[in-house]
Amino acid sequence: MSDQMSRRGFMGAAATGAVALAGFALAGCSSTSASSEKSSEKEKAVKPVILVTSFGTSYNDSRHITIGAIEDAIREKYWQDYDIRRAFTAQIIIDKLKKRDGITIDNMTEALDRCVEDGVKEIVVQPTHLMAGLEYADVKDELDKYADKFDKISLGDPLLTSDDDYKKVAAAIKENMASFDDGKTALCLMGHGTEADSNADYAKMQEVFKNEGLTQFFVGTVEAEPTCEDVIAAASAAGYKKAVLAPFMVVAGDHANNDMADETDPDSWAAKFVAAGFEVTCLLQGLGQNAAVDDIYVSHVDDAIAKL
């Protein structure tokens, strides 16, 4: 499986291939255009860009079916009118992929510079962040530097923005974890956590689950609050003895595999739940694998395009 291909990739790739072949055939029919006319046609042919910007992950399998799935969902809708491109913001991940796998991925500055060099006039940047935290602010700050480089710029919202977004995410997670929802199991979601004010979004997500009658769901974080201990205490107080642990993150990467699921690490969520007497199952699936979540990102692209 190529780095750009995921469950939605075949449709996008096939459509793109068809367009490429058509373009080749048309190009082959024209041999009399003046160089100035060719240059003018080239400028007209430059599509606006949707730059899907992610933190990134070095877990190749997860990247294909999470970040790749979001990109393909966007590509599936917009491939005819937009060039869909990728950027990562974590340079350490970009460097690791280059050294380990020979995979080259632009950071945001490189991706934006490439768009400028290609003559792109309109750009939509759609982050795959869950919330408007520090990383989202960094993306906005970087994009602001290019305000005079494009005719039109628009920045899409993160996953959890409107009240409707929260409800849709809750419904999507409920559906995805339905097979574990037997009335006897706590369904525990591990988010990253942040020092930014947006850390309150985890508490809001918990409140939405409660308001939707989904009291079997518990939300915590690795690096902030609510802590793993908070989640264990809440699940225990509710009378649960079994727990399914799943990442509340786009990708099931390092945090999910190590901080959540590694029972040999006494500091992991899995080990702490076991020590507290829970029967534990770990679900190593990122939110990007959930098609209903991917569709929320697509709707945010819709909104961003409408603002151009």
Query: What is the full per-residue pLDDT of the chain (308 aa) written as tens digits?
Result: 444 444 444 444 444 444 343 343 334 444 444 444 444 445 557 999 999 999 999 999 999 999 999 999 999 999 999 999 999 999 999 999 999 999 999 999 999 999 999 999 999 999 999 999 999 999 999 999 999 999 999 999 999 999 999 999 999 999 999 999 999 999 999 999 999 999 999 999 999 999 999 999 999 999 999 999 999 999 999 999 999 999 999 999 999 999 999 999 999 999 999 999 999 999 999 999 999 999 999 999 999 999 99
Residue 56 near residue 88 (C-beta atoms within 8 A): yes
Question: Quick one: pLDDT at residue 45?
Answer: 72
- Tell whether residue 192 is among the known ligand binding residues: yes
- The CATH code of the domain at 49-159+291-307 is 3.40.50.1400
Q: How far is residue 272's CA from residue 258's CA, in Å, rounded to a whole number?
A: 13
Q: How far is residue 247's CA from residue 52's CA, in Å, rounded to a whole number?
A: 21
CATH topology match: 49-159+291-307 vs 163-288: yes
- With a CB cutoff of 8 Å and minimum separation 6, the contacts of 90 are 55, 56
- Tell whether residue 64 is among the known ligand binding residues: no
Helix (H) or strand (E) holding 77: helix 67-78
Question: Quick one: pLDDT at residue 32?
Answer: 43
Question: Quick one: pLDDT at residue 209?
Answer: 98
Question: Quick one: pLDDT at residue 59?
Answer: 96
Residue 127 near residue 140 (C-beta atoms within 8 A): no
Domain regions of the chain by residue span: 49-159+291-307, 163-288
Question: Quick one: pLDDT at residue 17?
Answer: 43
List the catalytic residues: 192
Question: Quick one: pLDDT at residue 44?
Answer: 55
Q: How far is residue 96's CA from residue 106's CA, in Å, rounded to a whole number?
A: 13
Question: Quick one: pLDDT at residue 61?
Answer: 94
CATH 3.40.190.10 fits 163-288, yes or no: no
Q: Which residue has the tokens 């490439």?
A: 114
Question: Quick one: pLDDT at residue 31?
Answer: 44
